[in-house]
A = this chain, B = another copy of it.
Amino acid sequence: MKPEDISCPLPIGEHDTVQLSHGSGGRMTQDLVSRLFLWAFDNHHLNRRDDAALLDVARGKLAFSTDTFVVDPIFFPGGSIGDLAVNGTVNDLCCHGGIPRYLSAGFVLEEGLLLTELKSVVVAMKRAAEAARVSIVCGDTKVVNRGKGDKIFVNTSGLATIEHPYRIGADQLRPGDRILINGTIGDHGVAILSCRQGLSFQTPIESDTAPLCDLVQAVLSQVGEGLHAMRDATRGGVAATLNELAASSDVGIQLQSDALPVAPAVRGACELLGLDPLYVANEGKMLFVVTPEVAAIALNALRAHPQGVNAAIIGEVVAESSGMVSVRMPLGTSRIVDMPVGEQLPRIC
């Protein structure tokens, strides 16, 4: 099947919306599975239709991760809940330098969801999985009554093989390490919020949802053991993610305000909406923590990759102010970038 061929035998049965019966485990569930999911995710594991996929693994380490996606709206500029569901778990699986291999897909559908909308989500998942070179090898579908869900929630869990010998983790930050990011911050959160509030800007703002597995391997192959930690800056943005890293490693992190890449349209929208881009979710941005010796090499590796054209060194790890993140402003002052407490943007992913 060519990736372009997205004509699947919908409508499924005589319905054009999701029925409770699609979640019953009976013939309508089977029809949905075979006519939509097997058609889209086509691989020999899934096609066996067993209760579990049987995977051959080599001795070693596996990364295992899970994420549920409840983004509202389910379609937005730059992507959909389908893209997020694949890319989000792929990116979590990359954080130890692993190569994502297998995903599961668990759907909670609301009775009445248009089957054409479900199909669009599933096709987005199929394409995202192809782009990230992962196979969706097992799945599950449940249907909840109208008004007891919100169109579609998607859980993906996944497995990556770890094929490098290095220790990469949130607890590996050392004073002097440099913090890099592969591009502009805040794009995803602002795209969702603009869409939700019906705002439009001169320059359209799109989600940055993307699988970062190739980018991660590009950096890893260049800097090896010089790579101490990675984490994708999703919910809570760069601020929450760096606070987590600082706490896990008992170090401080100092950012340079003028080094933070922010697209002009996103900066404008954030000012309008009263948001700080540091706290806004990304879905295609990875923070890399590397030794100072390899920082320039890592930056070049990032910039040489299509997903890292706007990469930057945005700060460094310091011994003082353990567990705290701060940002130095252009005039030399400094402010604390605290862990966000409340809810800035609900259902952003």
Q: Which residues of A contact B (CB under 8 A)?
A: 19-21, 23-30, 48-70, 72, 91-93, 95-96, 98, 102, 104-108, 137-140, 142-145, 147-150, 153, 155, 157, 159-160, 162, 169-171, 231-232, 234-236, 240, 244, 248, 281, 339-347
* A77, chain B: closest CB distance, angstroms: 22
Partner of A339 from B26, B50, B92, B104 at Cβ < 8 Å: B26
CB contact under 8 A between A347 and B236, given known A54-B63, A106-B68: no
A147 and chain B: residue at smallest CB distance: B147
Q: Is the CB–CB distance between B340 and A170 below 8 Å?
A: no
A161 and chain B: residue at smallest CB distance: B57
Q: Which residues of B contact A105 (CB under 8 A)?
A: 66
Q: Which residues of B contact A159 (CB under 8 A)?
A: 64, 159
Q: Which residues of B contact A69 (CB under 8 A)?
A: 142
> A139 to B92, alpha carbons, bound, how many Å?
12
Q: Which residues of B contact A281 (CB under 8 A)?
A: 25
Q: Is the CB–CB distance between B24 and A346 below 8 Å?
A: yes
A162 and chain B: residue at smallest CB distance: B54
* A68, chain B: closest CB distance, angstroms: 4
Q: Which residues of B contact A160 (CB under 8 A)?
A: 52
* A44, chain B: closest CB distance, angstroms: 12
Q: Is the CB–CB distance between A56 and B48 below 8 Å?
A: no
Q: Is the CB–CB distance between B59 and A155 below 8 Å?
A: no
